[in-house]
Amino acid sequence: MANLKKILTSSVKPIYFFSAIVAILLGSYFFGDIAQYTTSLFPTRQVSLTAPPVRAINVDVPPAISTTASTTADETEDAEQTELSEVLTFTRANADSRLDQIQEALASFSRFTDLVRTKSNLNKDYKIPLIDPNRIPKNARIISQFSGEDLLAIGNLDWETQNLGFANWPKSIKGHMDYQAYEIAKLKLEIAQLKNQPADQIHALEQDAAQKEKYLRDAYMSSDAWVD
């Protein structure tokens, strides 16, 4: 206490004491403004210690490019199947229709041969009442006369039927049978896969189905497959 009283009553006058306090306050204020001004001129880069957000990866959904590729492959496969089943129209109904046309064409041929037999000189000059290729002489002069009505009654004498129908109708029926063989081959392959049969057997069935499909395309989808 004595020392404190001595300091307070020393030669340092009170006015100087208060002046020092004021100077300290003004300096703090002044230098605080300078620091704030300096900070505004040269801002300090804030470094965030927070880790960046982790990008979520959905493993259940494939990338967009894979999805697009898969869709394209499916569409391509569907298009190929449509080519075989619809463009070729190898259906039972189509085969039945072509079979009816062939039967009618054969019937018309039978009518034509009967017309030649009854309206010719085969029986009169050569004693051949029925057309028998083994009995008709190669040098025989066959003369047949019949009316336009008789000829028109034969049927299937138009150019389209003679040149297009006769060539394409049998091939359409054969194509139906070939397509059925291809469908059976695919079913055998599916059954083998479902039963988890040995890999070599499945491979053999895959080859068989592929060969039948190739035959269908080569035989019925080439530019010269059909007469037009």
Task: Write out the chain's pLDDT in tens, 228 residues.
Answer: 444 444 444 444 444 444 544 444 444 444 444 444 444 444 444 433 333 333 332 323 222 222 333 334 554 455 455 556 656 678 889 899 999 999 999 999 999 999 999 999 999 999 999 999 999 999 999 999 999 999 999 999 999 999 999 999 999 999 999 999 999 999 999 999 999 999 999 999 999 999 999 999 899 988 899 998
pLDDT at 46: 41
Distance, in Å, from the CA atom of 149 to the CA atom of 141, rounded to the nearest integer, reads 24
Q: Which two tokens stand for residue 222?
A: 């080439």
Q: Which residue has the tokens 């059925």?
A: 180
Burial bucket for residue 115 (CB in 10 Å: 0-12, 13-18, 19+)? middle
- What is the pTM (predicted TM-score) of this model? 0.60
